[in-house]
Amino acid sequence: MRYLSQISLAACVALWLPSAVAAQTAAPTQDDTNLVLTATEAFLFARATGNHADAYAMYGRGLQDLQNATDAAAVWDEERARGIPFADIQIVNVTWYTDPAGLPPGAYAAIDFRGASPEVPIVCGFMVWHNVSPVPRINRVEMNVIDADIYAQMDDATRASFETQFGCR
């Protein structure tokens, strides 16, 4: 995964500003996709380097209401200690949804990701970004993992079945 080591939430804000308003009323553009990919990489970089403040700042209000910054940091430290390879997670797909039913209006980008490490051979999931304001915010994150001990007990068919159930791409 490519990382921009200097990227921060402020940089994401500056990049997102020109297109955020248009994305809420029109189909997302390639620029919108590039910007949300950059934001995703910044989030994963913050997670990989233990920069909890930057990672948490990318959460939308709903996620922040569900988990305070201290609890999020504790979970993220545990995930890094387990060997979840945030530095090596690859983005494998982007799907856009405009004004989905039952959610606040705007453009939503679902980012599918996948990674692996010796300690955690299967990591996959998705995150959803919403641009209700000029700043993209993470609306939802789901991550599925299979650690090395469980992985070693599975045959190829069982592994494939779990990856299908997890929605791994």
Which pLDDT score is estimated for 156?
95
> How far is Cα 84 from Cα 135, in angstroms, rounded to an integer?
27
Q: Which two tokens stand for residue 106?
A: 């705007």
Q: Is 122 exposed, middle or buried (0-12, 13-18, 19+ CB in 10 A)?
A: buried
Beta bridge partners, 107, equal 98
Q: Identity (one letter) of the amino acid at 148?
A: A
> How far is Cα 110 from Cα 32, in angstroms, rounded to an integer?
12
Neighbours of 143 (CB within 10 A): 16
Note the Cα 125 to chain centre separation in Å: 8
Measured CA angle at 127 (ends 101, 94), to 5 deg: 80
> How far is Cα 20 from Cα 24, in angstroms, rounded to an integer?
7
> How far is Cα 126 from Cα 144, in angstroms, rounded to an integer?
9
Whether the model clears a pTM of 0.75, i.e. scores above it, the answer is yes
Compute the average pLDDT of residues 63-80.
Answer: 96
- The CA-atom distances, in angstroms, between 5 and each of 1, 9, 58, 78, 87 are 12, 12, 17, 23, 11
Residue 11 DSSP label: H
Tens-digit pLDDT profile for residues 10-27: 333 333 333 343 334 467
Domains of the chain: 9-166 (3.10.450)
Q: Over 50: is that where the pLDDT of 1 sits?
A: no
Q: Over 70: is that where the pLDDT of 68 sits?
A: yes
**Span of 28-37, 66-75, 90-99, 140-149 with lowest mean pLDDT:** 28-37
